[in-house]
């Protein structure tokens, strides 16, 4: 997919500064930023679903100190 986005002058300046320092092409830098953001969004959704499922299960929570002791940490 090809994508066109409008950037502010400041956003363009920041991207240009990073790519000048790293030597990475701007398109590659922006692509990696998008992939990273998508991965973080997936992780957040997974964590929110897990927390909601746990809350709905009625399972009691346990103190971290108890879990560490049980795992020998």
| Paired tokens of 9 | 């002058």
At residue 21, the pLDDT reads 98
What is the pLDDT confidence band of residue 10, given thresholds at 50, 70 and 90? Answer: very high
Residue 27 is assigned to a structural domain of this protein: yes
Query: Which residues lie closer than 8 Å to 26 by C-beta, 6 or more apart?
Result: 15, 16, 19
DSSP state of 13: H
Residue 19 is assigned to a structural domain of this protein: yes
Q: Report the distance separating Cα 62 and Cα 54, nearest Å.
A: 13
Q: Report the distance separating Cα 30 and Cα 11, nearest Å.
A: 11
pLDDT digits (tens, 9 = 90+) for 21-67: 999 999 999 999 999 999 999 999 999 999 999 999 999 999 999 99
Of 64, 57, 66, 3, which is closest to residue 33 (Cα–Cα)? 3
Residue 71 is assigned to a structural domain of this protein: no
Question: Which domain covers residue 16, as residue numbers?
Answer: 9-57
Domain count, the chain: 1
Residue 1 is assigned to a structural domain of this protein: no
pLDDT digits (tens, 9 = 90+) for 17-26: 999 999 999 9
């Amino acid at each position: 997919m090809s994508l066109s986005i409008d950037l502010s002058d400041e956003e363009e300046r920041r991207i240009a500064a990073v790519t000048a320092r790293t030597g990475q092409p701007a398109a590659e830098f922006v692509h990696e930023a998008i992939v990273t953001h998508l991965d973080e969004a997936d992780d957040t959704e997974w964590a929110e679903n897990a927390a909601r499922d746990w809350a709905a299960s009625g399972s009691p929570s346990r103190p971290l100190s108890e879990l560490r002791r049980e795992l020998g940490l």
